[in-house]
Amino acid sequence: MPPQSTTAGEETRIAYRTCNLCEATCGVAIEVSGDRVVRVRGDKEDPFSKGFICPKGSTLGELHHDPDRLTTPLIRRDGELVEATWDEAFAEIERRLNGVFEEHGRSALALILGNPIVHHVSTSLYVRPLVLSAGTMNLYSASTVDQMPQHLVSGLMWGDSSVFPLPDIDRTDHLLMLGANPVASNGSLVTAPDFPGRLKAMPARGGRLVVVDPRKSETAERADEHLFIRPGTDALWLAALVHTLFEEDLVSIGRLEPWVDGVEEVRARVASFTPERVASISGIDAETTRRQARDLAGAAAGAVYGRMGAHTVEFGSAAAWMTALLNILTGNFDRPGGVMTASPVASRIDDRKPGGRGYRTGRWKSRVSGHPEVNGEFPAAGLAEEMDTPGEGQTRAIISVASNPVRSFPNSERLDRAFGNLDFYLAIDVYVNESTRHADVILPPPSGLTEEQYELTFLANAVRSFVKYSPPVFDYEGLRDEDILAKVALILRGAGADADPAIIHKEMIEEGVDRQLKDAASPIAGRDRDEILAELADPSPIRQQLDLRLRTGWDGDLFGDKPGGISLAKLAKHPHGVDLGPMVERFPNRLKTESGKLELAPAQLVEDWERVCARLDTPVANDQLLLIGRRHVRSNNSWMHNVATLVKGRSRCTLLMNPEDARSRGLEDGKDCEISSRAGRLNVAIETSESMMPGVVSLPHGWGHDADGIRMSVAEAHPGVPSNVLTDDEIIDSASGNAVLNAIPVEVRAAS
Ligand code: SF4
């Protein structure tokens, strides 16, 4: 691959790339001088993001040059993490893992996969051989502290847990948004760079934005209407909207009506959820609820979009289910301006007739609480009990990849203690953070700017079909993500610490090609294997696999059968990316349920609904404070707190509280309070704000950088407090296994 294109003077060059710090995938122009990043700006020629960039994106250089970022493996010797060679580190991993396996078996191992994995094409691809080689069912990831309810609902209703309903933000006339704050987050489970700009464009075409949130968030500030809702009651309120659609004869499914099953079952399940009955629970009056249902049903094209605040609660799956029902019952599912699904360029579009294998959960269960697996994972909230409950199968060894569970999973303090008692902990990570400080070995991947880049995960959730590949910005000679993960996978297979990662690289590309050649539906079925492999020859295993996916994707060049189609070679000529248009109708052919229908009332969700029904009859404790999280545009997860530019200024880690709630408790703005829940307690400064719904307090997540032994100097100077000390690992959304990070009952009093 030739060096990155150079458009500036002799001493600097501009590398065009995509910011990979969040889901928005903004194009960036990185000005580089020698081995230094000089400046990062938005790439105005990127057809998807058009020059937009947020404060985080401009710090890609700071992250790259962060002196705290590990560049050498660390091994624990005499209680201290000390530098070691890669060979020493792999030998130690082999020795220690084998020791655990011999004594306790494979079931003593757990894998934890962190959110940054999906922001790198290398880790996205190579986590699979790691998981397959581990020989354990104990898999945890960021999904169960985030979006597992949507995976479950997608799997049960249309048969594919990876296909998300995306609000067609650029064409919708009416957007009803719950528990999301894209002006700060830039979007979640939907990739739409410059989300704030796209929202701003809505009024010009007569569009209307309604935000339902217990905090008048930055997004709510820009909405046509904001409604406070009591945290954790989204599912009930959405059910009242569905109820109103039936009651007022507003159901109109439209084009997909012949493909829908379960309408009458849904009608029966929401019958008791009258707007009047739900009003005292949600805090939204009945007339407003009815008006919202009518406005949605009456919009030329409308969309309902719910995220973190609606999903990371006790009824997260029920909320995701009701959201999908509203979109389907108003004819807005798979309709321009409603919610649609992406057409990722690196994937084939299966145009065979509707129907498939369906979706199963609970194929195995967790040891202590019997949590069913969902998407092959156990709940993050169940990790601590697996680690600290003795018995056969107790988790005694962990491999984590890009994860800081001690800060991101519920009940931080219990988890922190459990990590301190492991027999062996391997962390693949760039920082010594609150979790990895407990590690026995840390393997540091290189900076993202030394890697190939393709947004494999997020372009699969994008509101436009967009494609862009970027080569590494800087040369790098050491082990890359794919080599590190392949080496660990080989150790897990018993191939030894010296095994060559090329074994796995070769296997992966050959398996990928064979899968295509043997699949009768593949556009290259039956082609010559050697010829295809020869076409894919490249020193980079990532480029090989990416090229295979792109060339066999829905607009791929099919290895010459479709001249002008997409290939890596073609993308090299388009450093700003190629836009292939907005989302298009994909249903009913995208249905992969066993019935071949869009299942409105899957048995699993109907059964789970009993929990929500029980809530209808539970008296509301009006004097109970409920804790919610919040997002800031300068933060993402814990690891972004080591960037000086992003944490400077006054502390953002405060407890937001309605002034009346503070006054009634004798609390003062700016003073410390003590906040406690069943799980833990901590002290934090109060910030009073009318933006908070009375009875609700808010604390941002990912903070708490004052633990002994961490090596993140900037974060340590701006520690904040860890909100997950308060979140409770004993409450989960039992249908999906998702953690409950919002609507936590808390007490707040003056700090003693
Ligand atoms: S919005 Fe996300 S992708 Fe865009 S610059 Fe900011 S962090 Fe990067």
Q: How far apart are the CA of 575 and the centre of ligand 1, in A?
A: 18
Q: How far apart are the CA of 299 and the centre of ligand 1, in A?
A: 31
Q: Quick one: pLDDT at residue 637?
A: 77
Q: What is the pLDDT of residues 325-342, one digit of tens each?
A: 999 999 999 999 999 999
The structure's pTM equals: 0.97
Evaluate if residue 630 carries a pLDDT over 50. yes
Give the nearest ligand 1 atom to 21 CA.
7
* Residue 25 CB–ligand 1 contact under 6 Å: yes
Q: How far apart are the CA of 192 and the centre of ligand 1, in A?
A: 10
Query: How far is C-alpha 18 from the geometric centre of its chain's CA atoms?
Result: 18
Rounded to whole angstroms, how far apart are CA atoms 483 and 474?
18
Evaluate if residue 620 carries a pLDDT over 90. no
* Residue 186 CB–ligand 1 contact under 6 Å: yes
- Of 406, 326, 414, 281, the closest CA to residue 743 belongs to 281
Q: Quick one: pLDDT at residue 1?
A: 37
Other Cβ atoms closer than 10 A to 306 = 27
Q: What is the pLDDT of residues 1-58, one digit of tens each?
A: 334 444 445 579 999 999 999 999 999 999 999 999 999 999 999 999 999 999 999 9
Q: How far apart are the CA of 60 and the centre of ligand 1, in A?
A: 10
- Report percent pLDDT > 90 for the chain: 94
Rounded to whole angstroms, how far apart are CA atoms 144 and 378?
8
Could you tell me which residues come within 8 angstroms of residue 23 by beta carbon, excluding any fewer than 6 positions away?
Answer: 186, 187, 188, 189, 190, 191, 458, 461
Rounded to whole angstroms, how far apart are CA atoms 45 and 31?
15
Other Cβ atoms closer than 10 A to 477 = 7
Q: Quick one: pLDDT at residue 10?
A: 54
| Mutational test site, ligand 1, from 46, 53, 633, 645, max ligand atoms within 8 Å of CB | 53
What does the angle CA 118 – CA 629 – CA 305 come to, to the nearest 5 degrees?
A: 65
Q: How far apart are the CA of 4 and the centre of ligand 1, in A?
A: 21
Kindly state the DSSP code that residue 372 receives in the 8-state scheme: B
Q: What is the pLDDT of residues 712-749, one digit of tens each?
A: 999 999 999 999 999 999 999 999 999 999 999 999 99
- What DSSP letter does each residue of 290-358 carry, written as one string? HHHHHHHHHSSSEEEEE-HHHHSSTTHHHHHHHHHHHHHHTT-BTSTTSEE----TTS----S-S----
Q: How far apart are the CA of 9 and the centre of ligand 1, in A?
A: 27
Give the nearest ligand 1 atom to 195 CA.
1
- Of 564, 553, 567, the closest CA to residue 344 belongs to 553
Asked whether 426 and 400 are in contact (CB, 8 A), the reply is yes
Radius of gyration of the chain (CA): 25
Q: How far apart are the CA of 458 and the centre of ligand 1, in A?
A: 12
* Residue 53 CB–ligand 1 contact under 6 Å: yes
Q: What is the pLDDT of residues 645-698, one digit of tens each?
A: 999 988 899 999 999 999 999 999 999 999 999 999 999 999 999 999 999 999
Three-state SS for 525? coil
Q: What is the pLDDT of residues 461-509, one digit of tens each?
A: 999 999 999 999 999 999 999 999 999 999 999 999 999 999 999 999 9
Q: What is the pLDDT of residues 142-161, one digit of tens each?
A: 999 999 999 999 999 999 99
* Residue 56 CB–ligand 1 contact under 6 Å: yes
Rounded to whole angstroms, how far apart are CA atoms 737 and 371?
7
Other Cβ atoms closer than 10 A to 530 = 9
| Mutational test site, ligand 1, from 17, 18, 19, max ligand atoms within 8 Å of CB | 19
* Residue 22 CB–ligand 1 contact under 6 Å: yes
Both structure tokens of 690: 């009318």
The mean pLDDT of 367-388, rounded to a whole number, is: 98
Evaluate if residue 247 carries a pLDDT over 50. yes
Q: How far apart are the CA of 656 and the centre of ligand 1, in A?
A: 25
Evaluate if residue 101 carries a pLDDT over 80. yes
Q: Quick one: pLDDT at residue 727?
A: 97
Kindly state the DSSP code that residue 548 receives in the 8-state scheme: H
Rounded to whole angstroms, how far apart are CA atoms 72 and 55?
29
Q: Quick one: pLDDT at residue 4?
A: 45
Evaluate if residue 589 carries a pLDDT over 60. yes
Weakest mean pLDDT among 5-9, 134-138, 587-591, 600-604: 5-9
Q: What is the pLDDT of residues 534-546, one digit of tens each?
A: 999 999 999 999 9
* Residue 19 CB–ligand 1 contact under 6 Å: yes
| Mutational test site, ligand 1, from 25, 26, 28, max ligand atoms within 8 Å of CB | 26
Bin 254: left if φ > 0, else alpha if -120 < ψ < 50, else beta: left
Q: What is the pLDDT of residues 267-300, one digit of tens each?
A: 999 999 999 999 999 999 999 999 999 999 999 9
Rounded to whole angstroms, how far apart are CA atoms 646 and 59?
8
Long-range CB contacts for residues 516-523, cutoff 8 Å, separation at least 24: 516/548, 516/552, 521/348, 521/350, 521/352, 522/348, 522/552, 523/348, 523/552, 523/556, 523/558, 523/561, 523/562
Q: Quick one: pLDDT at residue 3?
A: 40
| Mutational test site, ligand 1, from 17, 18, 20, 21, max ligand atoms within 8 Å of CB | 21
Q: Quick one: pLDDT at residue 6?
A: 44
* Residue 26 CB–ligand 1 contact under 6 Å: yes
Q: Quick one: pLDDT at residue 442?
A: 98
Q: What is the pLDDT of residues 174-215, one digit of tens each?
A: 999 999 999 999 999 999 999 999 999 999 889 999 999 999
Q: How far apart are the CA of 13 and the centre of ligand 1, in A?
A: 22
